[in-house]
Amino acid sequence: MFIPITKDKNLNEWAIIELQGDIQFDSSLQKSDQLLIGDLFYMKDCGTPVFIIGTHILHGKEITLSKPFAVLEKKKVAVDDNFVTEYTVKAIVKKKLIFKMRPKPIIREMPTSK
């Protein structure tokens, strides 16, 4: 799964997210080409990635890929009454976020009756 990482509302870099298991969702909730799966944060003190999906939290680690690769967009362009395939580089992926542990439920304190 490719995830664009935004910092200060600018697209600075892309990363790959590696999860244990499968993500299942209700496709009827999808309203556009993009689907919100969860929220990705970095802990300020140690820079550890934290991924919140619904009521579950995952703690991971960030690694740098030994061989970066490009994300390409394929387009058909008309040139002299012919269509030519053209590729545009959208981003360079240099990092991978690994979440090996199983998700932990986020539990809020229940109010106690007096």
Q: How do residues 60-78 score in pLDDT, each as one tens digit?
A: 999 999 998 888 888 888 8
Mean pLDDT for 23-36 is 67
CA pair distance 19, 53, nearest whole angstrom: 12
Percentage of the residues of the chain whose pLDDT score is greater than 90: 16
- Tokens standing for 113? 């009756």
pTM tops 0.75, yes or no: no
> 37 vs 51, which has greater pLDDT?
51
